[in-house]
Amino acid sequence: MAYVTVGKENSTDIQLYYEDHGSGHPVILIHGYPLNGASWEKQVPVLLSAGHRVIFYDRRGFGKSSHPITGYNYDTFAEDLHKLIHHLGLREFSLVGFSMGGGEIARYIGRYGSQGVSKAVIIGGVPPYLVKAADNPEGVDGKVFEGIEKAIKADRYVFFAEFYKNFYNTDVFLGKRVSEQVVQAAFNLAASASSIASLACVPTWIEDFRNDLAKIDVPTLVIHGEADRIVPFSAAGQRTAKLVKGARLVAIKDGPHCVIWTHADEVNAVLSEFLGKGAGQAAGAR
């Protein structure tokens, strides 16, 4: 098991758990809420087969990473990612983020620039700015996020059970594109996450990433489910693609939020085509 220390809380190190597999062009996979790095299981074998070095990690507060009570904001998330990249000595790597992971990509490039980043992929990402405001009429009413926080405080387990219905659009895809066992496994991941992180991450979903997106100057692919009930396509993916110069948008017809599972074949095909073959390309130093 591999860890990188990204900070300290009192007498305890804050550590991120990560896995590093294969060789070739490095691809870093950044998971969504409330999952962990293992949620990329449909993508990892495909990327490895294409000759990529695949790295994924658990965000602080989730999975096998430390569960501190602080640091649940995108500046810190981006700093954690930066420390992992530095720890691994990566050069010419691609960033692939799902849901909250799209925010890490935006803020990482916004803060640290695109040096070393060869390509970016945002799947069902929270950018550019989810909450409705005077200068953001396409956003979601802020009361929605207040309601989510209230539900998590009351009983996060009940919240997660309801959340996953719309995460996978189970009324449409249960027994077809997603099984009850997959939903249960996802619930188990959420239940094992830090209760503090589960709540503290919610306000980060309404972070304003518009200035960050304007700084992305590498080839970018945006993938988003058209039937996403968690992060609406019209408020997020569609607008992100317009704000990133030259970005390519792939809308998954009838796709829910978690298209990396329900529509894995479609996602993997376009992801593989965009990233290309990894073998023989510039690899990160170990």
Looking at the annotation, which residues are catalytic?
99, 228, 257
Cα–Cα distance between 43 and 46 in angstroms, integer?
5
Residue with tokens 């597999």: 21
From the list 1, 111, 125, 114, the residue with the least C-alpha distance to 58 is: 1
Cα–Cα distance between 274 and 85 in angstroms, integer?
22
Q: Are 173 and 256 in contact (CB under 8 A)?
A: yes
Cα–Cα distance between 13 and 33 in angstroms, integer?
23
List, in sequence order, every beta strand (DSSP E) within the chain: 2-9, 12-21, 25-30, 52-57, 93-98, 117-123, 220-225, 248-252
Neighbours of 96 (CB within 10 A): 27
